[in-house]
């Protein structure tokens, strides 16, 4: 069985004891990342012995890219595919409507699902697979995101983007001959999604230091090494050379495996992703132009690089507790703000995230004391967080977006996002630390003032 070369087969259908003290297990049974990988499809299916009847999920773009070939190969090998085709060249949102469409194509004796596509289609299939107990196979059509191997499915429920623990694929068949032909803005999005790890690793370590959250150094180092390889190969990625796109795709799959082993998206998703999720919900609610998830993550990585620079430049020992207590938002204030900014979705966020995680003043004081006591160690993290100018340099070399206005985020929305993105998920990041210290609004205004709109 072939697998991507630099992991030596350790992460394909393996269980191993990690230096972090946990036993990690990967249930994915086959991974192919190479030119001509689609030729392995029916052989993989034969080995997995899932059965013969399947539902193939695609949209018009992905059907032309690979879906037609998949259907032909399945039929030639005596499989019985049913095509669930989203009749659109536009975005397929992983929402209630899309779930219903796929479910209506599943029959009582369906053996497996096979998704031909990238982010949204894969997330949709992953969720349905977990809820129906029908295994699925992933055939990526673009190196546009890092979740192919993960178990998390970001789904839209009445406009609220929730990441729901679901099921990883049984196999991933990533044909580089197909993937490198995807529009370059999708490849740039995938690169930007990987770049976000420069920020998310710092958020994760910050949380580990302050809250005791579980942290796995092994996977942080592994994903970081993979990301550095991609950064060093930016020119090849931009030209969509087979070897370069293979390396990017390998990195994305490895990142997804990291999320799978940890049990959530923490290894690959920090405050930069919270900004992206907030923008995605706003775009959905206001029916505005949408951008690829990774594209927004790249912009968010730049924003958070600026934010961290200003966070580290401050002194938590110089704060005024009375002033912080006077300015802290009450639960009612937060509920009103979220309802105003996000409507019914804001009400859901308040109920699911904000209210359960709200700190009383005594709890906030304890966190302030913890931040003050750990500040010298916390400041050492600034060696890990990339400088904003470095993020700009990398993104420009990759031909990827970096400025908020490139994803239709204006001054008002950027300020709103930095202030409230921390409420999108129950995850400790620098945004929460800044709020605790009474710095959030001031740093936000400083960051926003440095952008041109």
Q: What is the mean pLDDT of each run of 10 residues along the chain (453 residues)?
A: 42 82 89 95 97 98 98 98 96 94 98 97 97 98 93 87 90 97 97 96 96 92 88 96 95 89 86 96 86 96 98 98 96 96 93 95 97 97 94 97 97 98 95 98 98 94
Closest CA to 421 of 295, 314, 337, 362: 337
Distance between CA atoms of 295 and 412, rounded to whole angstroms? 20
pLDDT of residue 7: 45
Distance between CA atoms of 423 and 355, rounded to whole angstroms? 10
Q: Is the distance from CB of 142 to CB of 186 less than 8 angstroms?
A: yes
Residue pLDDT, tens place only, 226-257: 899 899 999 999 999 999 999 999 999 989 98
Q: Is the distance from CB of 186 to CB of 144 less than 8 angstroms?
A: yes
pLDDT of residue 1: 31
> What phi and psi, each to the nearest 5 degrees, are found at residue 202?
-70, -45
pLDDT of residue 4: 39
Looking at domain 5-182, which CATH architecture does it have? Answer: 3-Layer(aba) Sandwich (3.40)
Where do the domains of the chain lie? 5-182, 270-449
pLDDT of residue 9: 54
Q: Is the distance from CB of 350 to CB of 422 less than 8 angstroms?
A: no
Q: Is the distance from CB of 150 to CB of 127 less than 8 angstroms?
A: no
pLDDT of residue 10: 59
Give the torsion through C-alpha atoms of 339, 277, 267, 367, to 10 deg.
Answer: -30
**270-449 has CATH 1.20.1090 classification:** yes
pLDDT of residue 5: 40
As a three-state string, the secondary structure of the chain is CCCCHHHCCCCCCCEEECCCCCEEECCCCEEEEECCHHHHHHHHHHHHCCCCEEEEEEEHHHHHHHHHHHHHHHHHCCCEEEEEEECCCCCCCCCHHHHHHHHCCCCCCCCEEEEECCHHHHHHHHHHHHHHCCCEEEECCCCCCCCCCCCEEEEEECCEEEEEECCCCCEEEEEHHHHCCCCHHHHHHHHHHHHCHHHHHHHHHHHHHHHCCCCCHHHHHHHHHHHHHHHHCHHHHHCCCHHHHHHHHHHHHHHHHHHHHHCCCHHHCCHHHHHHHHHHHHHHHHCCCCCCHHHHHHHHHHHHHHHHHHHHCCCHHHCCHHHHHHHCCCHHHHHHHHHHHHHHHHHHHHHHHHHHHCCCHHHHHHHHHHHHHCHHHHHHHHHCCCCHHHHHHHHHHHCCCCCHHHHCCCHHHHHHHHHHHHHCCCCCCHHHHHHHCCCHHHHHHHHHHCCCC
Residues 6+ apart with CB under 8 A from 367: 210, 359, 436
pLDDT of residue 267: 83
Q: Is the distance from CB of 13 to CB of 155 less than 8 angstroms?
A: no
């Amino acid at each position: 069985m072939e697998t991507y070369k630099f992991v030596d087969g350790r992460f394909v259908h393996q269980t191993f004891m990690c230096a972090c003290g946990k036993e990690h297990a990967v249930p994915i049974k086959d991974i192919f990342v190479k030119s001509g990988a689609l030729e392995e499809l029916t052989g993989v299916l034969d080995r997995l012995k899932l059965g013969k009847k399947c539902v193939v999920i695609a949209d018009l773009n992905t059907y032309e890219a690979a879906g037609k070939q998949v259907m032909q190969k399945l039929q030639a090998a005596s499989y019985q595919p049913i095509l669930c085709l989203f009749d659109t060249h536009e975005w397929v949102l992983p929402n209630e409507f899309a779930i219903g469409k796929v479910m209506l194509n599943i029959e009582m004796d369906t053996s497996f699902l096979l998704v031909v596509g990238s982010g949204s289609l894969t997330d949709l299939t992953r969720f349905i697979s977990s809820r129906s107990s029908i295994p699925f196979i992933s055939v990526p059509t673009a190196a546009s995101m890092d979740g192919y191997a993960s178990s998390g499915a970001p789904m839209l429920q009445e406009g609220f983007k929730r990441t729901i623990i679901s099921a990883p694929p049984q196999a991933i068949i990533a044909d580089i001959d197909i993937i490198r032909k995807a529009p370059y803005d999708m490849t740039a999005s995938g690169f930007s999604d990987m770049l976000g790890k420069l920020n998310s690793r710092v958020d994760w370590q910050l949380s580990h230091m302050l809250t005791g959250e579980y942290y796995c150094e092994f996977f942080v180092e592994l994903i970081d090494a993979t990301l550095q390889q991609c950064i060093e190969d930016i020119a090849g990625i931009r030209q969509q050379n087979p070897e370069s796109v293979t390396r990017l795709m390998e990195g994305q799959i490895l990142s997804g495996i990291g999320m799978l082993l940890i049990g959530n998206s923490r290894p690959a998703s920090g405050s930069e992703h919270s900004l992206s999720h907030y923008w995605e919900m706003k775009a959905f609610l206001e029916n505005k132009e949408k951008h690829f998830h990774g594209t927004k993550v790249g912009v968010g990585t730049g924003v958070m690089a600026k934010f961290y620079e200003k966070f580290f430049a401050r002194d938590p020992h110089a704060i005024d507790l009375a002033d912080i207590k006077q300015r802290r938002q009450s639960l009612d204030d937060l509920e009103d703000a979220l309802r105003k900014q996000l409507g019914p979705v804001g009400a859901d966020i308040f109920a699911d995230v904000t209210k359960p995680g709200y700190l009383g003043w005594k709890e906030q004081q304890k966190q302030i004391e913890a931040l003050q006591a750990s500040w010298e160690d916390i400041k050492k993290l600034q060696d890990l967080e990339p400088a904003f100018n470095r993020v700009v340099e990398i993104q420009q070399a990759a031909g990827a977006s970096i400025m908020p206005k490139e994803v239709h985020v204006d001054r008002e929305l950027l300020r709103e996002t930095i202030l409230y993105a921390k409420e999108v998920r129950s995850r400790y990041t620098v945004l929460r630390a800044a709020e605790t210290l009474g710095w959030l609004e001031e740093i936000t205004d400083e960051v926003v003032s440095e952008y041109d709109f």
